[in-house]
Amino acid sequence: MADKSEKTKARLPRGFADRSAEDIRAVEKMMATIRSVYELYGFEPVDQPMIEYTDALGKFLPDQDRPNEGVFSFQDDDQWLSLRYDLTAPTARFVAENFDKLPKPYRSYRSGWVFRNEKPGPGRFRQFMQFDADTIGTPGVAADAEMAMMMADVMEALGIKRGDYVIRVNNRKVLDGVLEAIGLGGEDNAGRRLTVLRAIDKLDKLGPEGVRLLLGPGRWDGGKEGEGDFAKGAGLNDTQAEAVLLATARNGQAGQDAGVSANAVYQEGVGELATIEALVRAAGYGEDRVLMDRSVVRGLEYYTGPVFEAELLAEIPNDEGQIVRFGSVGGGGRYDGLVSRFRGEPVPATGFSIGVSRLMTALKNLGKLDTSDVIAPVVVLVMDKDTESLGRYQKMVADLRAAGIRSEMYLGGAGMKAQLKYADRRGSPVAIIQGGDERAKGEVQIKDLIEGARLSAEITDNAEWRAARPAQVTVAESELVAEVKKILAAQAADRTKGGA
């Protein structure tokens, strides 16, 4: 029997992560910028629950090699429920349920947590946040072109300059036509087609030869036999694999045989790509912003036409400090079948999804996500704990809050030194001190913690420190709010000067 005195290990399951206050502020600031671009394009907010009936998610699941086909599921009486694995399937269900009440086209955006029951890895989590925009009810590729342009505008609104990003656009019909032409059409080959899609999706990571193995017999994770796990391939022969690689080469369609080039689905895909390119170029978006790229396929099966990927081209440090090209921070495409399966009639749809956590990491590493304008609270120290004194401290906090200044009264049980250490760890800009002597005179001491930290680094002699009493003033209680505002304004000016 286990020793009951043994402490339980406090840790999260792999693939999940806590978020610090700094991360939350960074995400909120980033999402406010994204939201402003979405709304500039006329999209409106909506939200759906994190739990759906499992059968509402359909067969379009992200990892069919895992239990529950890639989703976290549980049973409620005789119904199976699942945590949403993306925001698109719940949106399709919502539109189908409210179809007659919604304007068509229906333009909306949403953000929230999604969950994947799959093996976690570097930059790959079981819980992460997405921020989507969708247009439902527009059959033409003008809606797809708009999605690509909107994502380019999002990147620039976030401070990512041209040359450091690109929105890549392809059409799944191009690859679907190739697969049909080489004998992989029909429901019987659905599993092999999905394996092909996932193989092509790893082109940047594995290169053409690594992908060729995944299209054929399979590949060991380590690259050599016996290294890592074995990934089973799609079982294509050399001719079939070559046709797929030609169709997904970044330079386009050169070298395809007559059978592929004559395929009707393939030709439709090529034509739609040409239309999208004409539309984005007419709107002033050049190849440095929106690029037609045959290597983009996206890994989910529900895409039926144009697909997009937002890629960061800048080289920035990864978690291990290595300088790498960051890669994809979002993607999407046309999914005409998702809403239709609920209603039994055609309902065209297209959308884009931003990986919030991944994009935030990239922006922080690029120095594009400054949260210095969100300051920690002013801390009112508690020098005496009798009811009358506590009431005075609370009145100071209330006055500061009424003036719109974030503030708190220290609620711990420690002394002055520990309270100042607490304020320092919080990153507080100002500490308010009133002991018995100050109270008798109707005064308070106000300590500028930012300036104090700067001066303390310059003063090394204790006598000089005591004489200087850096960045600390004494004012009448009635002048508390005005003096704190003055100090905060000076700190803000210093931050602006430092960032100039």
Q: Name residue 135's amino acid.
A: T
Predicted local confidence at residue 254, as pLDDT? 46
Predicted local confidence at residue 52, as pLDDT? 92
Task: Report whether 136 contacts 96 (CB < 8 A).
Answer: no
Tokens 């247009």 — which residue?
135
Predicted local confidence at residue 498, as pLDDT? 61
Predicted local confidence at residue 347, as pLDDT? 92
385 phi and psi, to 5 degrees?
-110, 10
Q: Within the chain, what is the greatest distance between any pair of CA atoms?
A: 96
User: CA 272, CA 344: separation in Å to the nearest integer?
Assistant: 25
Task: Report whether 371 contacts 22 (CB < 8 A).
Answer: yes
User: CA 395, CA 138: separation in Å to the nearest integer?
Assistant: 58
| Angle of helix 264-282 versus helix 172-181 axis, rounded to 10 | 160
User: CA 173, CA 215: separation in Å to the nearest integer?
Assistant: 19
Predicted local confidence at residue 67, as pLDDT? 46
User: CA 420, CA 410: separation in Å to the nearest integer?
Assistant: 10
| Segments of the chain scoring below 70 in pLDDT | 1-9, 59-69, 122-123, 251-256, 299, 317-321, 370-374, 456-470, 498-500
Same fold, 21-184+236-366 and 378-499: no
| Fold (CATH) for 21-184+236-366 | BirA Bifunctional Protein; domain 2 (3.30.930)
Nearest to 348 by CA among 303, 292, 296: 303
Predicted local confidence at residue 1, as pLDDT? 46
Predicted local confidence at residue 413, as pLDDT? 87
Nearest to 453 by CA among 434, 432, 470: 470
Nearest to 91 by CA among 121, 33, 131: 131
pTM of the model: 0.80
Q: What DSSP assignment string belongs to 281-322?
A: HHTT--TTTEEE-TT---S-TT--SEEEEEEEEEEEE-TTS-
* Burial class of 159 by CB neighbour count within 10 A (0 to 12, 13 to 18, 19+): middle
Degrees (nearest 5) of the Cα angle 296, 272, 170? 5
Give the single-character DSSP code of 66.
S
For residue 246, give both structure tokens.
């030609």
Domain ranges of the chain: 21-184+236-366, 378-499
- CATH: 3.40.630.30, 3.40.50.800, 3.40.50.720, 3.40.190.10. Which one for 378-499? 3.40.50.800
- Alpha helices for 19-166 (secondary structure H): 21-40, 54-57, 88-97, 142-157
Task: Report whether 220 contacts 155 (CB < 8 A).
Answer: no
